[in-house]
Amino acid sequence: MRYTVLAAGLLAAAVIPNGAVYAADTTVKGYGQGVETDSLNRPVGAAEFTDRYRELGAVALSSDADRVILTFDQGYENGYTEKILDTLKEKNVKAIFFLTGDYAKKEESLVRRMINEGHILGNHGMKHASLPKLSDSEAEDEIMSLHNYVLNNYGYEMQFFRPPCGEYSEHALETVQKCGYKTVFWSFAYVDWKTDQQPSPDEARKKLSDSAHGGEILLLHSVSATNAEILGDVIDDLRAKGFRV
């Protein structure tokens, strides 16, 4: 299993106490961090989610209180990932890239570059299917078929899962845990995935800077032209605020 300093706060946040018992609810829920923040500028929704589901191996905040973790969802390639990787290399930043099965199969050179440059690969589902809407066997296959594909074709063992569509249930979180994974949501995201409605660089940069907080798990989409353009400045802004990135 791969382990890095970047992942330490996620792994530490998902320790299962002895004797924990759950009556797993199958209700489908949509995750969102909300807009209310606490005294540390952390979204209350993300903090409450982590407190509630930590014992099911699910987090929306890292326990590494002075770090911001950059994560990218890789559903399809839009021509910006290479530039994003160039910026991360220049700034000496490691990120987590959550791959779908389609991406892992079609973008071999980019995936290999992610691995070679020390980034973490995460599992975003073989078919990007909503996990709580699947049967147990279908849900396990959604996770493990991609896990095994990446292991067999790239020699890389993934350990973090991000639920497609941001949808979950307690039962689905248990399924992820049974597959040997930690579930990683996010503590901040903004509407960056609409390729024909991209926010201005100044607007996006201010939004990301104003929302920064310790333990942040920042969700970005690599299909965003704005993200690719401002990423270096965003990293500089976060570091200027005293965060490790």
Q: Summarize pLDDT for 59-113 with one digit per residue, the tens.
A: 999 999 999 999 999 999 999 999 999 999 999 999 999 999 999 999 999 999 9
Q: What is the pTM of this model?
A: 0.92
pLDDT band at 12; cut points 50, 70, 90? low
pLDDT at position 4: 62
Sequence-distant (6+) residues with CB within 8 A of 39 are: none
Q: Read off the pLDDT of each residue in 143-157 and give the average, rounded to a whole number.
A: 98
Task: Decide if 73 is catalytic.
Answer: yes
State the amino acid at position 148 in one-letter form: N
Ordered domains of the chain (ranges, CATH): 5-11+46-239 (3.20.20.370)
Q: Is the per-residue pLDDT at 19 higher than 70? A: no
- Residue at token pair 């980019």: 110
* Catalytic option among 171, 192, 221, 237: 221
Closest of 74, 108, 97, 73 to residue 6, by C-alpha: 97
Q: Are 69 and 10 in contact (CB under 8 A)?
A: yes
Sheet of 120-123, strand order: 58-59, 182-184, 160-161, 120-123, 96-99, 68-74, 216-221, 188-189
One-letter identity of residue 97: F
Contacts of 214 (CB under 8 A, 6+ apart): 40, 42, 64, 65, 66, 67, 68, 243
Q: Which residues contact 109 (CB under 8 A, 6 or more apart)?
A: none
Give the residue-averaged pLDDT of 200-210: 97
Catalytic site includes residue 233: no
pLDDT surpassing 50 at residue 13: no
Cross-strand pairs, 72 = 97, 220
Whether 173 and 57 have beta carbons less than 8 Å apart is answered as: yes
Active-site entry in 73, 171, 192, 213: 73
Q: What distance in Å separates the CA atoms of residue 225 and residue 227, rounded to the nearest whole number?
A: 6
Q: Are 5 and 59 in contact (CB under 8 A)?
A: no
